[in-house]
């Protein structure tokens, strides 16, 4: 694949960002993706700043290439995390689950590229006007905290609405998804779920097995009633949450059984009480592979497909590759 605007902006080989998944995306995963030519991210999630700092320093031991940090804006430590990424001069800062508006200026002053994750056109426009370098437009197929729109309709509308590069996320897990994202006008892709099933991902093996065994219909969205919809793999906890929501359970009742549930999935592999966040693309993933193999395979497939879509010339039409006349 030829380098493009996202590769130039982020100083990477392939226009791919690894999702900054809370509790999952650590120095091991981020450095593996960056070493393979993508952009690895450490997910700050709800980490205390000293833990994030340790991961950042670990990642610097493991790679000489750029990597980023995802700042989860609902974190109780968000102010300290926002300052830490400045102090550490992180190359790329992505954000999720809220508006990074009040931090963008200080991050840009520190020399970071800022790429908010957005669920809608209005949000993308706002981020561009506040000085974002690019946006990740994330469709509802994604895992974790999600918006309402599908990737298929979100990407072209965001591409039309902003001048900055758009990275497509949500449902992209192979070269077909990458090719489709480019056809919709994206300049790059962000993949989270595919990297759950990767050798360098340090989550519990039960989590990886669930992802590789998942079928197309095996994710559900809980938390809609509370205004924080989260996509996870179906299990006992997810079913209980849906039932409680149907019965109109209070926020505190729901909170009581969800607190610590992501940790229980990632660290304990607790099949019943863990929150196994994953996107709908889990149904497309059947193997655990090294990050470098995943990235190589995806872009080989995307290149073949894009080459098929883009023949050097079609008789009677303009030369599509050069844009010039036939």
Q: Interface with ligand TUI by CB under 6 A: which residues?
A: 22, 45, 72, 74, 96-99, 117, 119, 123, 138, 144-147, 228, 230, 277
Q: Looking at beta carbons only, is 97 or 196 nearer to ligand TUI?
A: 97
Shortest CB 293 distance to ligand TUI, Å: 26
Phi, psi torsion values for 113, nearest 5 degrees: -85, 135
Please tell me what DSSP assigns to residue 167.
Answer: E
Shortest CB 119 distance to ligand TUI, Å: 4
Strand partners, 167: 136, 188
Work out the angle at residue 174's Cα, subtended by the Cα atoms of residues 170 and 178, and round it to the nearest 5 degrees: 70
Shortest CB 17 distance to ligand TUI, Å: 12
Q: Looking at beta carbons only, is 62 or 137 nearer to ligand TUI?
A: 137
Shortest CB 228 distance to ligand TUI, Å: 5
The span from the CA of 308 to the CA of 313, in Å, is 11
Q: Looking at beta carbons only, is 128 or 138 nearer to ligand TUI?
A: 138
Phi, psi torsion values for 87, nearest 5 degrees: -60, -35
Shortest CB 313 distance to ligand TUI, Å: 41
The span from the CA of 51 to the CA of 293, in Å, is 29
Q: Looking at beta carbons only, is 66 or 98 nearer to ligand TUI?
A: 98
Q: Which residues are CB-neighbours of 318 under 8 A, at least 6 positions away?
A: 324, 325, 326
Please tell me what DSSP assigns to residue 282.
Answer: G
Phi, psi torsion values for 277, nearest 5 degrees: -65, 130
Strand partners, 233: 219
Q: Looking at beta carbons only, is 68 or 96 nearer to ligand TUI?
A: 96
Q: Looking at beta carbons only, is 117 or 196 nearer to ligand TUI?
A: 117
Shortest CB 99 distance to ligand TUI, Å: 4
Residue of minimal CB distance from ligand TUI? 144
The span from the CA of 113 to the CA of 106, in Å, is 11
Shortest CB 200 distance to ligand TUI, Å: 20
Q: Are the beta carbons of 105 and 131 closer than 8 angstroms?
A: yes
Q: Looking at beta carbons only, is 37 or 100 nearer to ligand TUI?
A: 100
């Amino acid at each position: 694949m030829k380098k493009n605007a996202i590769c130039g902006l982020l100083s990477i080989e392939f226009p791919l960002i690894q999702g900054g998944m809370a509790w999952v995306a650590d120095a091991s995963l981020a450095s593996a993706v960056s070493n393979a030519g993508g952009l690895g991210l450490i997910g700050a999630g709800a980490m205390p700043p000293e833990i994030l700092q340790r991961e950042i320093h670990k990642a610097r031991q493991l790679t000489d290439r750029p990597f980023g940090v995802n700042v989860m804006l609902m974190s109780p430590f968000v102010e300290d995390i926002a300052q830490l990424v400045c102090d550490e001069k992180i190359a790329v800062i992505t954000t999720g689950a809220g508006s990074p508006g009040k931090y963008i200026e200080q991050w840009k002053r520190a020399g970071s590229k800022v790429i908010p994750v957005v669920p809608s056109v209005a949000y993308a426009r706002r981020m561009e006007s506040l000085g974002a370098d690019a946006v990740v437009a994330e469709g509802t197929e994604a895992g974790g905290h999600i918006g309402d729109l599908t990737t298929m309709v979100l990407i072209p509308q965001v591409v039309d609405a902003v001048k900055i590069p758009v990275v497509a996320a949500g449902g992209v897990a192979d070269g077909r998804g990458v090719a489709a994202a480019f056809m919709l006008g994206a300049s790059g892709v962000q993949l989270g779920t595919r990297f759950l099933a990767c050798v360098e991902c340090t989550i519990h093996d039960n989590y990886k097995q669930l992802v590789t065994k998942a079928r197309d219909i095996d994710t559900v969205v809980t938390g809609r009633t509370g205004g924080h919809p989260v996509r996870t793999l179906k299990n006992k906890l997810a079913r209980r949450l849906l039932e409680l929501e149907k019965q109109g359970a209070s926020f505190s009742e729901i909170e009581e059984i969800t607190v610590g549930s992501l940790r229980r999935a990632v660290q304990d592999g607790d099949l019943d009480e863990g929150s196994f966040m994953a996107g709908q693309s889990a149904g497309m993933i059947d193997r655990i592979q090294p990050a470098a193999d995943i990235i190589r395979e995806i872009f080989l497939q995307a290149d073949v497909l894009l080459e098929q879509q883009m023949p050097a010339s079609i008789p009677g039409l303009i030369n599509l590759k050069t844009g010039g006349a036939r």
